[in-house]
Structure 1
């Protein structure tokens, strides 16, 4: 195993996560690849490129690009490529933590089961390729030191101040403006950061599971944290009961008293649970499958934190964090599904109720330090959240640079969230241009990328004047479509070839003038 290179001492005045990031950055610049605990060290060679590090790529395409690469790089390609921090790492450092430190394989929240299954496959193949004499025992994750208050491993118990509906009656969406009271914690954040929360499972679902497995909930079990806790509390706060892992399904198969149910469960364990198929559903579909409660807890994956873009500036709200939450409630293949974190934060948590929160810092997605720079902000739906923070920040700083906001949602009459605030900022001049795209207000659906193309000439003029483009929202569809529109505008308005337009956009990224916070 390569030697860990720590250039920033542990007693330096930085949070643990920031210190680790700085170590990695400095080491990478010095040519010490692997300083974050992973790859072999090189002798000052050129910076490694990661062509698969694109959240818009399909996982199969990413794996093809990583073919023949070292084990840690293949693991990285299986990640969701968002560098969102929900796993406690970046994609690269999480992959290295798995490869060299035995980290858990189920921490990539946006990658979900697809990433988890691919990681298991890669780890198994890597172990199988090793000669028997080189067989290594399973690595145990290194214990992590408790960080400062307000970090992932030391969250602050904040209180819910308010959860205000933003959509009008009759909307197909339920979006909330959520305000969290930080009290006198002293926790600091910047516009562009995200707030991580540790949610709780729905207590009604937990009670239904307990009833189905004939448990009271008062049984003492060893929790994933290693402590002895009551079963109900573990199911409520510590394990994921909405997305059963292959190991959980295999355990149900082994415990099934009915041979046909056992066979069906074994087949399901091989292909994985379907989207929206929860533990409760499996227990009810296969009533003879009743595992030992401790074994069940051991196999259930940990309940992972969720991240929400911060919708406030600490210059205006130093003791609060605001965010925008889309309450997830949908049907998947006929199954009712509620988002664990969104329903907890926006609906189940009572006023003044406690929620563990932490700050996931962003080193890239920041308001430009130049007060005169023009800013183009593109954030449909809940993607508007960080731009509420950015505009508050620029207003508080007294920046003179122009701001152009693109916002979209289904219907203007029901889904024009933050309308009064945005129009007030437009009237005051803080927002120079407010471009709206309500997709279902007309027969042909119109999205923010369509509005970009309609105003291509002005968009190009802003770019040539030094504008910074900020994008926040869905990575799979919106961000890809906006990126395509940007390339088309650059090619058309700049009179450039496709390749030249590509290089122009790459230069924007290199100069930190094209920044994305996508998920």
Structure 2
């Protein structure tokens, strides 16, 4: 036999000379003499070596490890973390993505390359899925971090707030203080974060720490397990208005509308799930645009240059620019710094008089979409999406002001008219996948929106789990949103419990947290049965007061202190049994 492959030939030679261990596949009782048996075993040894060599040559180089950690409230940082993971793969890295609360300081100590995406929520506060990590990191007794931990931070915030990007700034500084090595400076993004984020991403992967793995490694083909949606913030779906009707009564101090949008048309579906939010692109009010142009001494026919290219000023002010919000950039561009905090762009322009068209355009930040909790289940309303929208109207400096999106929907979007929308997916704020699990929902005012969707979803799925809704507002007679539907669900048994709090109907103000405390033992019993608990609504007061009430209820149920109650609630959050959609 003429053996031409050197590995096979070497295997036969080694078998004959006994220089390397040989694979013995030929049984002793096989009809071969010792020399033949030795030769055949040598052949198999050589073939095995050939296969091993081929596997080694064909194996892809191992990607270096890195981590992407995010704190996200509305979903932007979470979405960017997925983008960063895909980009990292093209640079020769395998990126592990996690929410900050899912990482301990001990975990962080063992990491080598970490990119942080940190949103600031409310008045300089960490997001729900970063709060625990943030508290631990900022604690005086936080353990030091090794210099081998290299990192960079990208923050998402809003320059109209005094504590712009506070959480990202604090995390960035604290990591360095504890001993970690910053490889790229903090990038603090405003609401139009896309360009600044892209620049940061490029900068990070130009640093030495994030280049070493990609040297000599061909970029792999990245197969996205989560395909990009057809529609997003920059590519909205054009939905048409079907229904806009007032939910609140005439005597109400508020005006809340029920909105139904059609998702039909073009043969392309806009998919959503109960618990998701809908991003909606509004248009500025024409009369507000006219007031601003008049104050600036402009006609609106002037041509200005935006990031996207040239545009007529009136069109830009109507569709592309935020004509109300004052940011530090606005003050600087208009040369007005000594003004009160509570002002709008029109107030500044009135103060300075005539403004150049391009200067005005440069002073304004881009108009942003508004996010609304979806109040329908696609199982109950296929081809539709419903919203529950409170009109925003208020007085400021002697002027009647209004919310951009809520009044666009209420006053100017007529039946059949089109509006650009997209779905902002929620990671965990969905009805439990286990249809037998009990569900507690706390949503006063327009916070009822996602829970209407939850209940429609559970009804459509035939879920057997118990449902308890806490709802409230000022007056039962005019503020009971979706009253007929809620009462019907109570009568049918879908709503096992319906607790209603009216803060202005009695001598004492009653809120949802009041009812929680009144039913403390039953609430705790539901939690012990494994109930999932959800909160939706005002972040600054209601959600804070509800959480305080929950901690008292849990401490009483455990016969323990507040620390034990907090640990219980933290464990629920880690198991996604405690979720908040607050704003």
- What band does the TM-score fall into relative to the shorter chain? 0.7 to 0.9
Query: Residue 373 of structure 1 corresponds to which residue in structure 2?
Result: 437
TM-score normalised by L of structure 1? 0.75
The 1:300/1:64 distance shift into structure 2, 3 A limit, reads farther
CA contact (8 A) 2:153 2:185 kept: no
Q: Deviations over 1:372-425 (max 9, x none)?
A: 111000000010000000000000000011100000101111101100000001
Query: Residue 13 of structure 1 corresponds to which residue in structure 2?
Result: none
Query: Residue 157 of structure 1 corresponds to which residue in structure 2?
Result: 238
Asked if residue 114 in structure 1 is aligned to residue 169 in structure 2, the reply is: no
Q: CA RMSD in A?
A: 4.2
CA contact (8 A) 1:179 1:322 kept: yes
Higher fraction of strand: 2
In 1, the alpha carbon distance for the partners of 2:377 and 2:136 equals: 39
Deviation at 1:243, TM superposition (A): 1.2
Query: Residue 198 of structure 2 corresponds to which residue in structure 1?
Result: 142
For 1:277-316, list aligned pairs within 5 A.
277-287=343-353, 290-316=354-380
SS, match of residue 161 in structure 2? helix
SS, match of residue 453 in structure 2? helix
Query: Residue 196 of structure 1 corresponds to which residue in structure 2?
Result: 279
Deviation at 1:274, TM superposition (A): 2.1
For 1:479-494, list aligned pairs within 5 A.
479-494=543-558
Relative contact order (C-alpha < 8 Å, sep 6+): which is higher? 1
Deviation at 1:222, TM superposition (A): 1.2
Structure 2 unmatched ranges of 5 or more: 1-63, 69-76, 100-106, 141-150, 175-183, 189-194, 202-226
In 2, the alpha carbon distance for the partners of 1:25 and 1:456 equals: 46
Query: Residue 296 of structure 2 corresponds to which residue in structure 1?
Result: 213
Q: Deviations over 1:338-383 (max 9, x none)?
A: 1111111222212222211000000110111111111000000010
The 1:468/1:135 distance shift into structure 2, 3 A limit, reads closer
The 1:97/1:345 distance shift into structure 2, 3 A limit, reads farther
CA contact (8 A) 2:154 2:187 kept: no
Which shifted more, 177-186 or 448-457?
177-186
Query: Residue 21 of structure 1 corresponds to which residue in structure 2?
Result: 82
For 1:433-448, list aligned pairs within 5 A.
433-448=497-512
In 2, the alpha carbon distance for the partners of 1:136 and 1:308 equals: 30
Deviation at 1:432, TM superposition (A): 0.6
Query: Residue 258 of structure 2 corresponds to which residue in structure 1?
Result: 177
Deviation at 1:286, TM superposition (A): 3.2
Which protein shows a greater Rg? Answer: 2
The 1:114/1:313 distance shift into structure 2, 3 A limit, reads same
Query: Residue 341 of structure 2 corresponds to which residue in structure 1?
Result: 274
Residue correspondences, number: 444
The 1:148/1:499 distance shift into structure 2, 3 A limit, reads closer
The 1:511/1:68 distance shift into structure 2, 3 A limit, reads closer
Query: Residue 60 of structure 2 corresponds to which residue in structure 1?
Result: none
For 1:38-117, list aligned pairs within 5 A.
44-45=110-111, 59=125, 96-97=153-154, 108=157, 112-116=160-164
Structure 1 unmatched ranges of 5 or more: 8-15, 70-92, 99-106, 127-133, 254-264
Query: Residue 32 of structure 2 corresponds to which residue in structure 1?
Result: none
For 1:489-500, list aligned pairs within 5 A.
489-500=553-564
